[in-house]
Structure formats: structure tokens, C-alpha cells
Amino acid sequence: MYALKDVNLVVKRGELVAIMGPSGSGKSTLLSIAGTLDKPTEGRVYVSGVDVTDMSEEELALFRSRHIGFVFQSYNLLSNFTALENVMVPMLVSGLYTVEEARERARLLLKLVGLEDRASRFPRQLSGGEQQRVAIARALANDPDLVLMDEPTGNLDVASAARVVSLVKWLNEVYGQTFLVVTHDPEVAKAAGRTLYIRGGRLYETPPSSALTKRLEAELSKYRCSPDLVQVQVKLLELRVRSLKRLLSFGQINRQDFERELASISSRISALEKELKVSPHELGEANA
């Protein structure tokens, strides 16, 4: 069984692309392959025009550090490092910058995401939204060609999510950063320039009918075509009428309530007759 099937995805430089789909649809696998964390069993993967499919793990690690940024739902910040140090790490790992250069760039990146005054704080001293913005700054550390985001607002409250999404949109529109975002949140997808949908490992330009929707329709047709179940429904209504009559006779409900309930039941019986074209049992004399 394949996690992805016949996927052909092109993300152009400067695009903000969202991919929506339910759990188990292949979103995370697609992101892992796009980020060179996993290799496809068939096909090729290109990032910035470079075929990365047959690279060794060592080559991929270096390529990732210099060309791809990652933002995760759970932030994945190093708990014993400050915000500034977390942003510095990718630069030092890549070998592109000295410690002083990395520190200077990290300060500028934290300022870019509005957290310059949080540089010396540890993750536990930051809110969820602030941690996610640090994660975005870290993803931008090496000026990547592509930033991959996995449910970036999944752990955030509405206000924090709005700030993160607006930051991503601004970075895309003004800074020209390329983003590929997988999400369950239609509000996040709304901010994207293009939204794709994934179901059963396949990508779609428009939302496909889900397997659940198709199954619901099939199951609903069974109910609609079952005279036995109709009779069950009618019998339940008959028993309700009997109960109402008893309550009325003992003075436990007044006639006005009785008549109102009886009218509602009669309406439901009529609906059953019309929908399923069967004759319900007679309700009997309703008058007490």
C-alpha cells in the first residue's frame, strides 16, 4: 500500500501553497519527501532545480541545512537554548557563518518576526505563538529556497494563530519567501495563493468527495430503502402516542401540550410516508 500515488507537485519560487487533507491522507509523507527526509520509491524530487533523489544521507543533510527550512506544529525548539541560540543553530550547522555572523543574523531574524526583545528567553518562558515565531525565524536562518510548515497553527489559540499566519503571508508577499504548508485549518489555507487537496495519497486541484462522504451516501440509501426500519420508526411514534394518551388521562400533561405533540408526530409520520412511500400503522383514535 502506497502513502502517495502519482503525485506531481510543482511549487514555484515565491509561492505560498497550502495542502489540505484529513489525517492519514498523505500530507506528512508528502512534506517529508519534499524536505528530503524520506525518499520516494518511484519518481524524482527536485529542489531549486537540483535532483536530490539519489543523494547520500550526508549530502542530503548538508543540502537541507542550506536550502530548506522546517516549521513544525510542536515548535521543536531546543529547551536549553535561548531564542537567539535556537535561531543560530542552523547557521552554525551549515558552516556558512561564523559565530558572530550567526549571532548578528539571528538578532535580525528575531526582529523580523517581532521578537527582538525575547532573544535571551528560553522556550519555556515564551508563549506558544512566540515559540512558533522563533521557529519561523530559525527556518529562515540560512535564507532557504523553501520553507515547509507542518500544521503551524495546530497548537495555537486564535490570536496567536492569526499572528503567525499574517507573518507567513507577509514574508511571502514582501520578503518573497516560498512556503509549502500542510494544514487542517481552512483559515490558514485561505491565506495561501494556491490550495491543493490530498485524499488517499492523491493530490487534487479542487476538494474531492471524501471516502467518508461516499460511504455516508451509501449507508443513507440503505436506511431510505428499508421498509423494516420505517416500521420501527412508526412503532416508536405509536408508543409515544400511547404514552402521551396515558399522561393526558392522568392529568400529567395538559391537552394543549398533548395536541402539540400529536401534531408533531403526525407530521413525522407524513414525512415517512412521503419519503419512503410506505403506509404506516394506524395511530388509532387520538382523543382521550
> Could you write out the DSSP letters of every residue in 28-42?
HHHHHHHTTSS--SS
β-bridge partners, 69: 147
Counted residue by residue, the chain has a size of: 288
The domain boundary residue, chosen from 208, 223, 252: 208
The domain boundary residue, chosen from 189, 208, 227: 208
- Please report whether residue 10 resides in a domain: no
Q: Distance of alpha carbon 97 from its chain centroid, rounded?
A: 36
Average pLDDT on 52-61 reads 94
Distance CA 99, CA 88 (A): 8
* pLDDT tens digits for range 71-84: 998 999 999 999 99
Q: How confident is the model at residue 5 (pLDDT cuts 50, 70, 90)?
A: confident
Mean pLDDT of the chain: 87
- Residues 82 and 185 grouped into a single domain: yes
- What range does the domain containing 47 cover? 16-208
pLDDT at 127 over 50: yes
* pLDDT tens digits for range 21-38: 888 888 889 999 999 999
pLDDT at 158 over 70: yes
Give the number of domains in the chain: 2
Q: How confident is the model at residue 86 (pLDDT cuts 50, 70, 90)?
A: very high
- Residues 43 and 108 grouped into a single domain: yes
Q: How confident is the model at residue 257 (pLDDT cuts 50, 70, 90)?
A: confident
pLDDT of residue 28: 87
Closest CA to 92 of 121, 66, 129: 66
Comparing 228 with 175, the larger pLDDT belongs to 175
- Residues 219 and 161 grouped into a single domain: no
The domain boundary residue, chosen from 187, 208, 229: 208
- For 87, phi then psi, to 5°, come to -75, -30
45 CB-near residues (< 8 Å, 6+ apart): 33, 34, 36, 39, 51, 52, 53
- Please report whether residue 129 resides in a domain: yes
pLDDT of residue 275: 61
